[in-house]
Amino acid sequence: MKKGAIKVSVLYPNKNGKTFDMDYYCNKHVPMVAGLLGDDVIGASVEKGLGGGAPDQEATYIAMGNLYFESMASFENAFGPNADKIMGDIPNYTNIEPVIQISEVMI
Amino acid sequence: MKKGAIKVSVLYPNKNGKTFDMDYYCNKHVPMVAGLLGDDVIGASVEKGLGGGAPDQEATYIAMGNLYFESMASFENAFGPNADKIMGDIPNYTNIEPVIQISEVMI
């Protein structure tokens, strides 16, 4: 991704009793979000947590989803009107309250 | 990044009294790591934390660095012999103990 782009990360902490339906997320949620946000999204990625830094350590996040935008204005413009629909889909694939991080791409 | 690739994320939590030299990280640390790991690295990215999901919320991570490999074997093969040199450079740019997460690229 190019320097200066805005990355919105949605991180799902891996805790006891928490569930995450990766199939629904990849095949239903992400395509729905991509459809709603349209051309404002300039990139997207999804990762599944495998482990931590030490052997046998669990991954801090069971899943991570990332969306890229040209600018904060583009993100806010795209996300604002669709926030309720996107957030409302979360219970369909997980009971985890995600950590959201907004970052600027440096490299 | 292609599906099935291994992503190694190094996440630097944003806490009071913690510092992170983004200039050193981007211009010294990342090039050093890329040089040491060589062709096993198939992608790299660095992001600077701007904020959280709510207005005026601080970013959970002050910085995030990501390296991509073809497989876990490729990562272990590349990182193992260079771990001491790479970890030993951390105090040159931060006093944060990073969170390490290994993930599989789904999308």
Q: What is the pLDDT of residues B57-77, one digit of tens each?
A: 999 999 999 999 999 999 999
Percentage of chain B modeled with pLDDT above 90: 97
> What pLDDT score does B55 carry?
86
**Shortest alpha-carbon distance between residue B89 and chain A (Å):** 17
Tens of pLDDT, residue by residue over A10-22, are 999 999 999 999 9
Q: Mean per-residue pLDDT for B39-48?
A: 96
What per-residue confidence (pLDDT) applies to A58?
Answer: 95
This prediction has a pTM of: 0.96
Instruction: Give the mean pLDDT of chain A.
Output: 96
Number of Cβ pairs closer than 8 Å across A and B?
96
Q: How far is B84 from chain A (nearest CA, A)?
A: 14
| Domain residue ranges of chain B, discontinuous segments joined by + | 1-6+22-48+71-107
Q: Which of A45, A59, A107 sits opposite B105 (nearest CB)?
A: A45
Residue in chain B nearest A10 by alpha carbon:
B53
In the predicted model, what is the mean pLDDT of chain B? 96
Task: List CB contacts (< 8 A) between B64 and chain A.
Answer: 9, 101, 103
Tokens of B2: 């292609």
Query: In the predicted model, what is the mean pLDDT of residues A45-61?
Result: 95
Q: In chain A, which residues have their Cβ closer than 8 Å to the Cβ of B32?
A: none
Interchain CB distance below 8 Å, B50 and A105: no
A98 pLDDT higher than 90: yes
- Determine how many CB atoms are found less than 10 A away from the CB of residue B40: 18
Q: How far does B45 lie from chain A, in Å, by closest CA? A: 5
Q: Do A46 and B101 make contact, defined as CB atoms within 8 angstroms?
A: no
Which residues does residue A75 pair with via DSSP β-bridges, in sequence order?
A: none
Closest by Cα among A8, A10, A82 to B50: A8
- Considering only the beta carbons, identify the residue of B48, B101, B107 that sits closest to A44: B107
CB contacts of B52 in chain A (<8 Å) are 99-102
Task: Using CA coordinates, name the residue in chain A closest to B59.
Answer: A101
Question: Do A51 and B106 make contact, defined as CB atoms within 8 angstroms?
Answer: no
Q: pLDDT-based confidence at A55, cuts 50/70/90?
A: confident
| Best residue of A103, A104, A105 to probe chain B, by most B CBs closer than 10 Å | A103
